[in-house]
Structure 1
């Protein structure tokens, strides 16, 4: 089979040429029903055009995520469109911004999930948001994180809700750490959002600063996050001292008549 399990790492797979030559290494997983070939990295000596052609045939119907811009370019040159480009950012927590003064009546509260926060996130991730539209399944995922630590438990020292003068949640930052999907021992911002009616008051900056300081308080040396290129929140992260760690390029591989979308 052109796609086979890596002989030394059962979590990874190899994409082979028809003659059995290994072309690329990747990890296959399911993202809310979408099959993803993640961290696709061409192996030394493999021609990018060959990797692209083999992926289109043997990974048909999946989303291919790669840190290799040359592979993404080869897929685009072959007629596919770049689905999205994402930047992974890291903060080394060596120098942290001072906590900003919140507007009168606004406070940071213990992390958790409630109906007001669900409404706040639904409004924050509206139809025009550059990342995604909030779905009912996102509420279920948030409850699973807090109730069962699934897929990861919250890092409570770095997580918080922001509560307005009316006593209702208007946004939050949710962190975990150390997380299993990074090579370094790293905290991670799973979500940060402020409802539109509360934006413009420096609340996003206050939540981000809380996350940074709470991650260092937990004994972790790095905090990371992922942001799409077109997301204007990137300015907030840059101003807080986050720096580029890696780039990830996503391309949707078209299905073929006999592909199932899973490998």
Structure 2
């Protein structure tokens, strides 16, 4: 098989050429029904064009995520589209800020999901958001986390809703951990959002601080997240002490290995 288990690390796999030469190391997981080849790293001496061609054939239909700009460039040069460019950040949890004082009438509540929160997230992820619009699939995935611990259970100590003076949810932070898709043991911010009408009064910073302190309470060593290029929230993360861990470039490999998707 061109994709085989790594002989020294059961969590990873190897992408082989047809002659059995190992071309790249990767980690497989499933993201809400989408198969993902994460952290794809060409091995020393492997030609990027060969890795790209083999990946298109043997990982067809998979979302490929790589920190290697050369590999991403080879896939794009072959007619595919760079779907997402993001930076993974990490925050060590030895020294954390004190919880900020919330504006009058605002509170942090237990994590969960309700219709007000769904509307808040939909408003927060408008048509011009770098991550794109909020989708019905996002709501289904979060509901599944709370209803059936699927695909991963929430890290409840690090998750919370923010509730306004009217008693309605206006945003949240949702964390999980430890998560299977990272190369280190850490908690992970899956989503942090505040409705536009509640932005600018420090609620995002309060949610982020809660996530940091709750992850340490869960005895995890770090908290991570992924921020897409152009997201203005990056400034908040930098100011909170998050630091760059790695870049992640994502390309969807077509189910038909010969397909060209550029210009879609």
Given the two structures, how large is their TM-score scaled by the length of structure 1?
0.88
For residues 234 and 172 of structure 1, the distance between their equivalents in structure 2, rounded to whole angstroms, comes to: 17
SS at match of 2:231: coil
Q: 1:181-210, CA deviations, whole angstroms, 9 ceiling, x for partnerless residues?
A: 223221111111001111111110110011
Structure 2, unaligned stretches of length 5 or more?
260-264
Deviation at 1:146, TM superposition (A): 1.6
For residues 179 and 61 of structure 2, the distance between their equivalents in structure 1, rounded to whole angstroms, comes to: 28
The match for 1:101 is 101
For residues 35 and 186 of structure 1, the distance between their equivalents in structure 2, rounded to whole angstroms, comes to: 22
For residues 102 and 171 of structure 2, the distance between their equivalents in structure 1, rounded to whole angstroms, comes to: 14
Deviation at 1:36, TM superposition (A): 2.9
Check 1:26–1:172 CA distance in 2 against 1; reply closer, same or farther (3 A cut). Answer: same
The match for 2:150 is 150
The match for 2:133 is 133
The match for 2:73 is 73
Check 1:136–1:83 CA distance in 2 against 1; reply closer, same or farther (3 A cut). Answer: closer
For residues 255 and 153 of structure 1, the distance between their equivalents in structure 2, rounded to whole angstroms, comes to: 30
Question: Which stretch shifts more, 101-110 or 175-184?
Answer: 175-184
How is 1:213-228 mapped onto 2 (pairs within 5 angstroms)? 213-228=213-228
SS at match of 2:153: coil
For residues 255 and 248 of structure 1, the distance between their equivalents in structure 2, rounded to whole angstroms, comes to: 22
The match for 1:59 is 59
Question: Which stretch shifts more, 249-258 or 50-59?
Answer: 249-258
Check 1:100–1:177 CA distance in 2 against 1; reply closer, same or farther (3 A cut). Answer: same
Given the two structures, how large is their TM-score scaled by the length of structure 2?
0.88
Q: 1:78-118, CA deviations, whole angstroms, 9 ceiling, x for partnerless residues?
A: 44442221111100022222222211111111111111111
The match for 1:163 is 163
For residues 162 and 87 of structure 2, the distance between their equivalents in structure 1, rounded to whole angstroms, comes to: 26
SS at match of 2:55: helix
SS at match of 2:178: coil
Check 1:220–1:33 CA distance in 2 against 1; reply closer, same or farther (3 A cut). Answer: closer
How many pairs are equivalent? Answer: 259
How is 1:1-263 mapped onto 2 (pairs within 5 angstroms)? 1-6=1-6, 12-256=12-256
Question: Which stretch shifts more, 97-106 or 36-45?
Answer: 36-45
- RMSD of aligned residue pairs (Cα, Å): 2.3
SS at match of 2:132: coil
